């Protein structure tokens, strides 16, 4: 029963993830990409601040530096994806995003010399077929 429940949850996540491209594409017909991103990041920061306000007291310079670096790359990723979505279809944007996830094991192999396991190769092939 747990296996079926996990499959249902996974299907639900995929449906939500996939539908966000069409939803955001519709939003971008109404407002500019950077306006949308400003709202998105403001509300995310606000909600996370409310949830984790006690932990914010323990932030030191090292955490702030590393978190800022990660945040810059996350912002760039969202920016490129959102601006790109303004100029292409939701289907193409979803495909490109999904393909980037599939390529992580391959990219890891070339950049950090990580050995690709048989399961990863099988996962890449099946995910690519699914896309």
Structure tokens at 25: 């594409």
pTM for the complete prediction?
0.73
Tell me the three-class secondary structure of 56-111, residue by residue. Answer: HHHCCHHHHHHHHHHHHHHHHHHHHHHHHHHCCCHHHHHHHHHHHHHCHHHHHHHH
Q: Over the stretch 44-99, which tens digit does the pLDDT of each residue have?
A: 999 999 999 888 888 889 999 999 999 999 999 999 999 999 999 998 888 888 88
């Amino acid at each position: 029963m747990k296996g079926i429940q996990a499959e249902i949850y996974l299907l639900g996540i995929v449906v939500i993830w996939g539908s966000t491209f069409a939803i955001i594409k519709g939003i971008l017909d109404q407002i500019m990409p950077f306006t949308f991103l400003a709202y998105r990041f403001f509300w995310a920061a606000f909600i996370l601040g409310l949830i984790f306000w006690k932990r914010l007291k323990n932030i030191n310079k090292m955490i702030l530096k590393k978190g800022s670096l990660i945040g810059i790359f996350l912002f760039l990723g969202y920016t490129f994806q959102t601006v790109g979505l303004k100029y292409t279809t939701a289907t193409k944007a979803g495909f490109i995003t999904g393909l980037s996830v599939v390529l992580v094991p391959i990219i890891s192999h070339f950049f950090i010399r990580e050995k690709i396991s048989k399961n990863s190769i099988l996962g890449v092939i099946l995910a690519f077929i699914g896309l």
